[in-house]
């Protein structure tokens, strides 16, 4: 029924936001990766969120969220002239990941705020359910 | 004479159901705050309560292939789309502040209804208890 579904909805949101936090941390960890070719270098990953319509016929009101896929950013890798770097190619260039650390930080804060919102929803729904159990007492 | 729960509890029972449903609708909005192209929806409490009391004209489905009219679900509750206050780049119409306040307002209303119901039950208990 209505309130029980809030747990599913908030749970789906929490798992989606934690996937987002995961991609952020993996992007941040690889922010300084370099490679000798533009094709091999690590690319920033981002999750794609989509509304999860669960048994729509029965209950149209509830819609969770899901991560449908994780896409790699196709912005250009940073090219730098470093002939002394052991990873440099024949022309002396190295390629650094296209991870934008500032973007990732903003993304992380947004993901953690959304996660907190979901936890808050869940707590409120839990309190309401517990109060419902005490009805008539 | 048997106790008629429907009469004793009044409209609070239906109100509780609608408020629970509304909590799930608003939580869907908050959870989908970061989903591109998601459109926020909400339940019109007044209309839903009227409908649950049979005080509302609705479309009849005379054929199995007919779809529900005006986006009503199995319980006959209508969901309406919110009008966004400002446009967003990704087509999402969730206003997080508005949804959060609506959610806590709904939670308080739910608890109020629970209080009313508890009062009704207490009344019945008092009537049943012997002096």
Residue B121, C-beta contacts closer than 8 angstroms, at least 6 positions apart: A135, A136
Contact B93, B42 (CB under 8 A): no
Pick from B17, B107, B118: CB nearest A124: B107
Is residue B17 pLDDT above 50, yes or no? yes
What was the pLDDT predicted at A97?
Answer: 92
- The whole-angstrom separation of Cα A110 and Cα B90 is 15
- The whole-angstrom separation of Cα B71 and Cα B58 is 12
- The whole-angstrom separation of Cα A120 and Cα B99 is 13
Question: Closest Cα to residue A64, out of A124, A116, A129, A118?
Answer: A118
A32 reaches B (C-beta below 8 A): no
- The whole-angstrom separation of Cα A3 and Cα B106 is 12
**Residues on chain A touching B36 (C-beta within 8 angstroms):** 49
**Residues on chain B touching A114 (C-beta within 8 angstroms):** 33-34
Specify the pTM: 0.83
What was the pLDDT predicted at A5?
Answer: 86
pLDDT averaged over every residue in chain B: 84
Crossing angle, helix B12-31 and helix A2-29, to 10 degrees? 10
**Minimal CA separation from A76 to chain B, in Å:** 23
pLDDT tens digit sequence for A46-102: 999 998 876 544 566 678 899 999 999 988 888 989 999 898 888 999 999 999 999
Pick from B77, B100, B104: CB nearest A61: B77
Contact A98, A109 (CB under 8 A): no
- The whole-angstrom separation of Cα A89 and Cα B99 is 53
Question: Closest Cα to residue A54, out of A44, A46, A45, A64?
Answer: A64
B94-100: average pLDDT: 93
pLDDT tens digit sequence for B36-85: 999 999 988 888 888 777 765 666 778 888 766 554 554 567 788 999 88
What was the pLDDT predicted at A55?
Answer: 54
**Residues on chain A touching B117 (C-beta within 8 angstroms):** 135-136
Question: Closest Cα to residue A25, out of A97, A95, A101?
Answer: A101
Q: CB count, 10 Å around CB of A49?
A: 25
What was the pLDDT predicted at B130?
Answer: 76
What was the pLDDT predicted at B46?
Answer: 87
Q: Is the ipTM of this complex over 0.95?
A: no
Pick from A57, A65, A132: CB nearest B31: A65
Residue B26, C-beta contacts closer than 8 angstroms, at least 6 positions apart: B42, B99, B102, B103, B106
Residue of B61 and A130 predicted with greater confidence: A130
% of chain A surpassing 70 pLDDT: 93
What was the pLDDT predicted at A15?
Answer: 94
């Amino acid at each position: 029924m209505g309130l029980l579904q809030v747990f599913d909805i908030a749970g789906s949101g929490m798992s989606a936001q934690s996937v987002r936090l995961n991609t952020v941390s993996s992007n941040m960890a690889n922010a300084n990766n370099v490679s000798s070719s533009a094709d091999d270098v690590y690319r920033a990953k981002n999750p794609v969120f989509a509304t999860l319509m669960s048994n729509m016929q029965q209950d149209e009101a509830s819609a969770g969220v899901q991560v449908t896929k994780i896409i790699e950013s196709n912005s250009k890798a940073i090219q730098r002239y470093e002939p002394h770097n052991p990873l440099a190619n024949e022309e002396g260039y190295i390629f650094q990941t296209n991870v934008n650390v500032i973007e990732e930080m903003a993304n992380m804060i947004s993901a953690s705020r959304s996660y907190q919102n979901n936890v808050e929803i869940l707590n409120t729904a839990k309190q309401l359910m517990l109060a419902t159990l005490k009805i008539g007492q | 004479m048997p106790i008629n729960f429907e009469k004793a509890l009044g409209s609070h029972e239906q109100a509780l159901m609608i408020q629970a449903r509304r909590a799930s609708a608003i939580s869907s909005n908050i959870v989908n705050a970061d989903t591109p192209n998601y459109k926020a929806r909400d339940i019109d409490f007044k209309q839903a309560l009227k409908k649950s009391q049979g005080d509302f004209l609705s479309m009849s489905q005379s054929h199995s292939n007919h779809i529900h009219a005006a986006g009503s679900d199995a319980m006959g509750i209508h969901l309406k789309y919110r009008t966004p206050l400002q446009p967003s780049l990704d087509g999402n119409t969730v206003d997080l502040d508005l949804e959060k306040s609506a959610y806590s307002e709904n939670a308080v209303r739910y608890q109020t209804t629970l209080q009313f119901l508890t009062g009704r039950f207490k009344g019945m208990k008092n009537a049943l208890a012997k002096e």
